[in-house]
Structure 1
């Protein structure tokens, strides 16, 4: 059904499409250090999220949505399913640049923000032709943090022959259809993220941890892996070696890993990986005894000291067949903690930090993205994956590293009881809980000079308009979902 765009935006409680006369965020941040930053939102769409009980001090405003018109590029559309993202200062000194994956349209957008942190212009660095596969989570590597870059490492998810792309965030938008910006040395797999450790973690080395989002199938018997790329040269993305995580005792079964236990692990080499197909890598790691996880979707490291940086968290999102567990794998999902050896990155210990199978439908449901700070792990759910019997919508959970307490922190407003909304947008008949999902959550505090400030990406799958189609200009996608990025302040770190 064709929807009138102006009428549809008005249903959101907004009038017009001008960037002037915007929705206000009533609460100014009293802790602001950078006086230029203004969190009054110019977006036409209120935030699709709200704080859970106990976290009412969070201040939430919309940064950008697919319905917003940017003054310097009025035809630009912020695409569907914003997922992995990175933020950097604009080298010309005029504000900031935000790079974002748009999963379903296989593209990467670039949004320019002014000194007050208002989006003013946008374009696409990668379209569906250059992206080739779904682009999920991602990491912006920078010289300040990682010792090399800037380079946007975005991993392809669709199938075991997918690869990691290395995208110049300052590159030409005319290159958006280029297909040669992949990094063969980082392997081939259904990958979700490629996360370089900070330069202090292992000085002189480049270490990148990669999550493989693969479930069990007869054609992929190794299931998902935690993969590591390592080079003894900083910034070398071509000549290093590839490894997969295994237990020292050789046990490959994920569900034999239990809470309150620590398991010695090591990374086993995948010889000649850059010249292997994904299927060959799959066979090799399984024969080497690598742990068979249920969909490793995201990876992040603990912030703070070099010792903290060697503490790595990753998800196993979970899988099911006919809404039932698959033997040997988590169904509702898990979060793992890997403590890497201080001197040898190929050694460490593995612990289970959070698991959902003991609380089916009420605890964590399909954890996907992660954001790790010094004291917390923020766990973002992907509850649209499998389950009709989920008991809550997709949350972000706050896991306290010291106390091991896990609390619901953020929820989504699906507008299920809003008749006008459902008449216009709910064309797919969305009713079940957990059908929207979160994308990346990023700490932007230091970059913008405002403490405890983060961005969070939202996939409101049933917000659909014809005006949102073909956002990247490739003409290859019929998807017409919208997307949103919000700013959240007063986040505990």
Structure 2
């Protein structure tokens, strides 16, 4: 029996005037599992992917170009919007945050569909072949929102007795949703909101390992905002055990030190709001987290006022958050990307920055902050280290490396979205891969650079093969009305790929 069927359509440019028709090869293959005829199968046959972990499982090749600096890395497509699984599931809606769980010999992958305000669950077999998909959340929910980055709370790592997928709501609604990845019958319009974490323009909410701060629940989040109090670094802290998501308090980061303007450090002036323009690249500054009293009961606008009221420090759109892997102590090294606002916007961060936040070993409310990557080599403080960087968004931190993923859709330096590798101090930034632009997937044949990356996560330990990662792609140029339905209202396609040989 065929494990899943593929639908693949290709736009063919017929003339220089841009007119095109849908082309096909052979008759449509007939499907015996879900009543849908195959389309464009070679010689009328449904596509059957080969066996083995490191093989393409989708008829569509990986939409990435690997850099010559990483010639030992290979990419394999797992599932694309060209594919239908046996139960009729189709991957749509711009995949962003994700998490993977092992279930016997199979895997459960939970992933946000950002532009469809949704979250899907895909089951893979032992070779990462997709065999079933369903929606755990869709746009029919009352508090629909752009579900951006997300992190799997794994009980074995983060504490408690239950796994949760923490899906961050960036706009429209402004909470973090905790979704059960093991639920037998999905309830895609249920209320999953964690009110105790407060309302921000959440980009991600990342729980730290349970023994990084034993007996405490610590979640670090990014506020992807550029208005009001602008972007905050958020902490949810509970002293009531390592898995308390209801009774903690909300804190935001505040600088205790800033640049003295001469490559030195000085103490801040009390009752003053500072932004990241007051920091020098590569310098380390003392910081603290201050409480937003009664924050759980505030609206998003009230939270903006409260952050200014406690003189929280401002960042130009805090995006993704991750922590160093390898040990409980490493988990106190938190990294976050700040996407910037673009040249000409008149702000203190044009091209984007990445920070290392080292939390005190005994008190998570104290720490030190260092800007370790910056694209601002020719603007703002003009002291950056990566002149090609454009709008860093998602971030993946392993035991030894930082992987920085770009989202150049609002402003760019003229190259497709890229992933960079640096060491843990931001040194030796090197391009890993770029998003591949396939004009045949665009309804207009466009060769524009529109696109970005979603989650990059290390799954080496789960699949038992070192240096294995899974990556989400958002080729925004890939659009089709076929992707639209009532509860999945947008028209974008996407792809999930497996990376073999990426150093961890």
Q: TM-score range by the shorter chain?
A: 0.7 to 0.9
1:147-206 alpha-carbon deviations (Å, 9 max, x no partner): 1330000010115x510001000124441111x210000000110111000112101111
| Distance change in 2, residues 1:158/1:12 (3 Å) | farther
State whether residues 138 and 487 of structure 2, in contact with CA within 8 Å, keep that contact through their aligned partners in structure 1.
no
2:404 corresponds to: 379
| 2:281 aligned with 1:259 | yes
1:404-451 alpha-carbon deviations (Å, 9 max, x no partner): 1111111111035xxxx1xx6243x74544x21000001111011111
Which range moves more in the overlay, 247-256 or 274-283? 247-256
1:89 corresponds to: 102
| 2:298 aligned with 1:276 | yes
Which secondary structure state, in structure 2, belongs to the residue aligned with residue 177 of structure 1? coil
1:225 corresponds to: 232
| 2:443 aligned with 1:445 | no
| 2:75 aligned with 1:16 | no
| 2:208 aligned with 1:186 | no
State whether residues 37 and 448 of structure 1, in contact with CA within 8 Å, keep that contact through their aligned partners in structure 2.
no
Q: CA deviation at 1:67?
A: 1.1
| Distance change in 2, residues 1:6/1:154 (3 Å) | closer
In 1: Cα distance, 2:377 partner to 2:341 partner:
15
In 2: Cα distance, 1:176 partner to 1:458 partner:
23
Which secondary structure state, in structure 1, belongs to the residue aligned with residue 330 of structure 2? helix
1:55-82 alpha-carbon deviations (Å, 9 max, x no partner): 01001100111111223x1x21112211
TM alignment of 1:391-406, pairs within 5 A: 391-401=414-424, 404-406=427-429
In 1: Cα distance, 2:139 partner to 2:247 partner:
28
Which secondary structure state, in structure 2, belongs to the residue aligned with residue 280 of structure 1? helix
State whether residues 211 and 226 of structure 1, in contact with CA within 8 Å, keep that contact through their aligned partners in structure 2.
yes
State whether residues 12 and 45 of structure 1, in contact with CA within 8 Å, keep that contact through their aligned partners in structure 2.
no
1:286-313 alpha-carbon deviations (Å, 9 max, x no partner): 1211111000111000111222111110
In 2: Cα distance, 1:377 partner to 1:251 partner:
29
| Larger relative contact order (Cα-Cα within 8 Å, sequence gap ≥ 6) | 1
1:12-50 alpha-carbon deviations (Å, 9 max, x no partner): 99952966443x6xxxxxxxxxxx952222211100002
2:131 corresponds to: 120
- Matched residues, number: 450
| Distance change in 2, residues 1:6/1:87 (3 Å) | closer
2:260 corresponds to: none
In 1: Cα distance, 2:350 partner to 2:23 partner:
38
In 1: Cα distance, 2:107 partner to 2:501 partner:
21
Q: 2:394 aligns with which of 369, 382, 397?
A: 369
* Runs of at least 5 residues in structure 2 that lack an aligned partner in the other structure: 1-6, 12-21, 26-38, 257-267, 380-385
1:314-343 alpha-carbon deviations (Å, 9 max, x no partner): 0110114xx51323x211111011010011
2:66 corresponds to: 51
TM alignment of 1:310-389, pairs within 5 A: 310-320=332-342, 323-327=343-347, 329-358=348-377, 362-387=387-412
In 1: Cα distance, 2:9 partner to 2:370 partner:
52
State whether residues 223 and 295 of structure 1, in contact with CA within 8 Å, keep that contact through their aligned partners in structure 2.
yes
| 2:167 aligned with 1:150 | no
Q: How well do the aligned residues superpose, as a CA RMSD in angstroms?
A: 2.2
| Distance change in 2, residues 1:403/1:81 (3 Å) | closer
| 2:226 aligned with 1:215 | yes
State whether residues 125 and 172 of structure 1, in contact with CA within 8 Å, keep that contact through their aligned partners in structure 2.
no
1:238 corresponds to: 246
1:55-110 alpha-carbon deviations (Å, 9 max, x no partner): 01001100111111223x1x2111221100010012xx241110000000010001
2:442 corresponds to: 425
Normalised TM-score (structure 2): 0.85
State whether residues 151 and 166 of structure 2, in contact with CA within 8 Å, keep that contact through their aligned partners in structure 1.
yes
2:179 corresponds to: 167
Which protein has the larger Cα radius of gyration, Structure 1 or Structure 2? Answer: 2
Q: CA deviation at 1:477?
A: 4.6
In 1: Cα distance, 2:477 partner to 2:488 partner:
16
In 2: Cα distance, 1:343 partner to 1:125 partner:
38
State whether residues 151 and 168 of structure 1, in contact with CA within 8 Å, keep that contact through their aligned partners in structure 2.
yes
State whether residues 448 and 477 of structure 2, in contact with CA within 8 Å, keep that contact through their aligned partners in structure 1.
no
1:355-406 alpha-carbon deviations (Å, 9 max, x no partner): 112157952100000000011100000011234xx23111001011257111
State whether residues 110 and 125 of structure 1, in contact with CA within 8 Å, keep that contact through their aligned partners in structure 2.
yes
Which range moves more in the overlay, 304-313 or 235-244? 304-313
2:307 corresponds to: 285
1:464 corresponds to: 479
Which secondary structure state, in structure 1, belongs to the residue aligned with residue 461 of structure 2? helix
State whether residues 9 and 24 of structure 2, in contact with CA within 8 Å, keep that contact through their aligned partners in structure 1.
no
State whether residues 241 and 273 of structure 1, in contact with CA within 8 Å, keep that contact through their aligned partners in structure 2.
yes
2:208 corresponds to: 197
Normalised TM-score (structure 1): 0.87
Which secondary structure state, in structure 1, belongs to the residue aligned with residue 305 of structure 2? helix
Detail structure 1 runs of 4+ shifted over 6 Å in the superposition: 9-14
State whether residues 362 and 391 of structure 1, in contact with CA within 8 Å, keep that contact through their aligned partners in structure 2.
no
| Distance change in 2, residues 1:375/1:174 (3 Å) | closer
2:433 corresponds to: 410
